Amino acid sequence: MTVQSKISSAAAEAAGVLDRLGVAPALWTGGSRPVRSPVTGEVMAHVHDASPAQVGAAIEAAHTAFLTWRNVPAPRRGELVRLLGEELRAAKADLGALVTLEAGKVTSESLGEVQEMIDICDYAVGLSRQLFGLTVATERPDHRMMETWHPLGVVGIISAFNFPVAVWSWNAALAFVCGDACVWKPSEKTPLTALAVQALFERAAAKFGEVPAGLSSVVIGGREVGEALVDHPKIPLVSATGSTAMGRAVGPRLAGRFARALLELGGNNAGIIAPSADLDLALRGVAFAAMGTAGQRCTTLRRLFVHESQYDAFVPRLKAAYASVKVGDPRAAGTLVGPLIDEPGFKAMQQALADAKAAGGSVHGGDRVEMGEAFYARPALVEMPGQVEVVKRETFAPILYVMKYRTLDEAIALQNDVPQGLSSSIFTNDMREAELFISARGSDCGIANVNIGPSGAEIGGAFGGEKETGGGREAGSDSWKAYMRRATNTLNYGKTLPLAQGVTFDV
């Protein structure tokens, strides 16, 4: 197949998928913003940026929708999310194909991303009957004290290209059952999947029958659209996923107006291969975590600390896996590593490799794989003499820095000695090492795993990290609390008015 015929097939495939998913052609043709497929480099569509007036109108409509939606009983709100999950199940193959075309993920990972959406919908449906607060013992007779959780308002969602649809669903599925409305600014690089998800939401809403207009909307555009969400007084919570630089801009602006920020920023995730590690298992865990999604997950494994006793047994096997992995069209069977998102992504990778070399690293792989206008690269394994500056910085590309360690305390200190704190893992069969790693003096990350890599989390746990990762928690556990406001209620069913702390105030 020539490059040209591959290109046209990508654009044609996108058109077919958008049509089947019910996205009106007017939404993805004739606009000023071209949408390129990283698979072929070809322009697939031209979407329309939202004007400031349109963004404002979407937020106002969402706020009006919220005023109605908050009165709908939560289990009934769950029914909308159940219907959304059904639409996603029916559209899984098509939406997965569009994720591949727009974000460049291999088919299995794109389907996994849609599955993650389905999973969070199922989770949110159950949650819609469990948004409970505590009843607390009160010090006063004939009193009751309790907490109630109420809908919060409009949630602004800013998402990144690498999980173009799942991240929206982690936020939106919870927000909808919590009684909130959502306005979504997808990455400029992946607006088509957002339009497709909005079309599926509208199908679910039509089946539900009484969803207020504007409960969910998509606003496409650049930084200024994100800023409009961040600055709008009718948005009490912005959930933003992306770079630490983005978070640094968003966080203080939200703080300035006392709005909530749920930040999901950079990761620089490590793995430790301990003396007792099962090397077969570790090899598979490291390969997926470091090379999967072409190194473009926030949870991607970027730093590997191998015990000196295992280095010569493990690292050559890992190098062989790097050399054998199939890089290419993510739609093709057998491909494990698809393209980088774009040219700046490829250049950042090459720059990091040059910096690593200059710092004494020995680079294996990392070369460009020629595929027309698109940017494919072989994943790179870099043996480093130590954890120098380039290793401490997050480069969103398939680069794994490998280093030796002697003691576990040293490995844990190295793993924690980066600005980011998202995910981490240890491969060990020593129970003491495993427990130490996840203890208070172990990993300082929001996610700490044993005998699995740092990526590929399930939705049931709270997802997020510490330090420059931003501190936010999304998806499972009690993450839903970010999308609601808590009221503490004290009720007096007696005939006297005892004051707390024994205070007297007799009039």
Structure tokens at 327: 């890089």
Q: Where are the beta strands (DSSP E) in 235-333?
A: 237-241, 260-264, 269-273, 301-307
Roughly how many angstroms between the first and final C-alpha of the chain, as a whole number? Answer: 91
Structure tokens at 91: 């559209």
Residue 455 binds ligand UN1 (CB under 6 A) = yes
Q: Do the Cβ atoms of 59 and 179 come closer than 8 Å? A: no
CB of 138 to ligand UN1, least distance (A): 42
Please list every residue from 231 through 290 that binds ligand UN1, using CB under 6 A.
241
Q: Does 457 contact ligand UN1 by CB under 6 A? A: yes
Q: Which long-range contacts (CB under 8 A, 24 or more apart) does 492-498 make?
A: 492/140, 492/142, 492/143, 493/142, 493/143, 493/144, 494/141, 494/142, 494/143, 495/142, 496/142, 498/140, 498/141, 498/143
445 is catalytic: no
Q: Is 299 in the site for ligand UN1 (CB under 6 A)?
A: yes
| Smallest separation, CB 262 to ligand UN1 (Å) | 13
CB of 372 to ligand UN1, least distance (A): 27
Cα→Cα distances 142→139, 354, 501, Å: 10, 72, 16
Q: How far apart are CA 13 and CA 338, in angstroms?
A: 17
When asked if residue 379 is in the footprint of ligand UN1 (CB under 6 A), the reply is no
Residues 114-153 touching ligand UN1, rule: CB under 6 A, are 116
Per-residue contact string for residues 10-49; x = within reach of ligand UN1 by CB under 6 A: ----------------------------------------
Q: How many residues at the interface with ligand UN1, by CB under 6 A?
A: 10
Alpha helices in 92-243 (DSSP H): 92-103, 107-127, 166-177, 191-208, 223-231
Beta-strand relationship, 362-365 and 420-421: unpaired
Provide the b/e sequence for 165-195 (b: ≥16 CB within 10 Å).
bbbbbbbbbbbbbbbbbbbbbbbbbbbbbbb
The minimum distance between CB 423 and ligand UN1, in angstroms, equals 7
H/E stretch holding 397 reads none
The window from 293-301, 333-341, 381-389, 428-436 that contacts ligand UN1 (CB under 6 A) reads 293-301
* Choice between 69 and 163, CB closer to ligand UN1: 163
Kindly state the smallest distance separating residue 117's Cβ from ligand UN1, in Å: 11
Rounded to a whole number of angstroms, the minimum distance from the CB of residue 361 to ligand UN1 is 25
Instruction: Rule CB under 6 A: say whether 303 interacts with ligand UN1.
Output: no
Stretch that binds ligand UN1, among 73-81, 176-184, 297-305, 315-323 (CB under 6 A): 297-305
Catalytic (active site) residue 113:
no
Residue 128: its H or E element = none
Select the residue interacting with ligand UN1 from 199, 218, 286, 298 (CB under 6 A). 298
Applying CB under 6 A, which of residues 69, 123, 149, 163 lies at the interface with ligand UN1? 163
CB nearer to ligand UN1: give 153 or 421. Answer: 421
Residue among 297 and 378 whose Cβ is closer to ligand UN1:
297
Least distance to ligand UN1 from the beta carbon of 424, Å? 12
From 83-91, 214-222, 340-348, 450-458, give the range in contact with ligand UN1 by CB under 6 A. Answer: 450-458
Q: Kindly identify the residues of this chain, within the stretch 61-120, that bind ligand UN1 according to CB under 6 A.
A: 116
Cα–Cα distance measured from residue 299 to residue 469, given in angstroms and rounded to the nearest whole number: 11
Q: Scan for tokens 């109108």, then name that residue.
A: 57
Provide the minimum distance between the beta carbon of 354 and ligand UN1 in the complex, in angstroms, as a whole number: 25
The single residue among 40, 107, 110, 162 that binds ligand UN1, judged by CB under 6 A, is 162
Return the residue nearest ligand UN1 (CB atom): 457
Which listed residue (121, 178, 298, 445) is catalytic? 298
The helix/strand/coil state of 448 is strand
Q: What φ, ψ does residue 466 adopt, rounded to 5°? A: -100, 180
Rank residues 13 and 119 by Cβ distance to ligand UN1 and give the closer one.
119
- Asked if 190 and 33 count as a contact pair (C-beta separation under 8 A), the reply is no
**CA nearest 159: which of 226, 208, 99?**
226
- Which of the residues 102, 264, 383, 468 is marked catalytic? 264
Of the candidates 456, 169, 446, 166, the one whose C-alpha atom is nearest the C-alpha of residue 293 is: 456
Q: Which residues are catalytic?
A: 264, 298
Binding site for ligand UN1 (CB under 6 A): 116, 162-163, 241, 297-299, 455-457
